[in-house]
Amino acid sequence: MNFNNIEVTEDYGKQSSKADIYEPKFAINNNTKKIYVTAKEGNFLNKDEILLNENVRFESNDFSIETENVIFDRNKQTAKSKTRSLFKSKNTTISSNGFNIYDNGNKITFYGNSIIILK
């Protein structure tokens, strides 16, 4: 897989014994909302990007997303995942093979075979 010119191998989530940070907490901010980001652990890829591993959760007042591995860019306020993801909101559930949160959290693109359930 390739995220922004960073080569990531298929086993990129298996670095638990060599984590740089444990239980990291971040937020994606825009003018109208915050998306809180938590994980079990993380590894710095460079000064801005962090690979978040295990039980990665994005949560706002409007939705939540759960997955296992995410590259979070603190400077650009973006997050990308190529692992199985579950998006939930009041009336919508989306199961996908990853996602991209961009535009300060205003936009989310879902990857791969996605299942959308509308209530």
Confidence (pLDDT) at 43: 96
Kindly give the residue spans of alpha helices, DSSP state H, lying in 12-99.
none
Confidence (pLDDT) at 9: 43
Confidence (pLDDT) at 30: 81
Which residues of the chain are modeled with pLDDT < 50?
A: 1-16
pTM of the model: 0.81
CA distance 86 to 23: 20
Question: Which domains are seen in the chain, by residue range?
Answer: 21-118 (2.60.450.10)
Tokens in use for 34? 């915050």
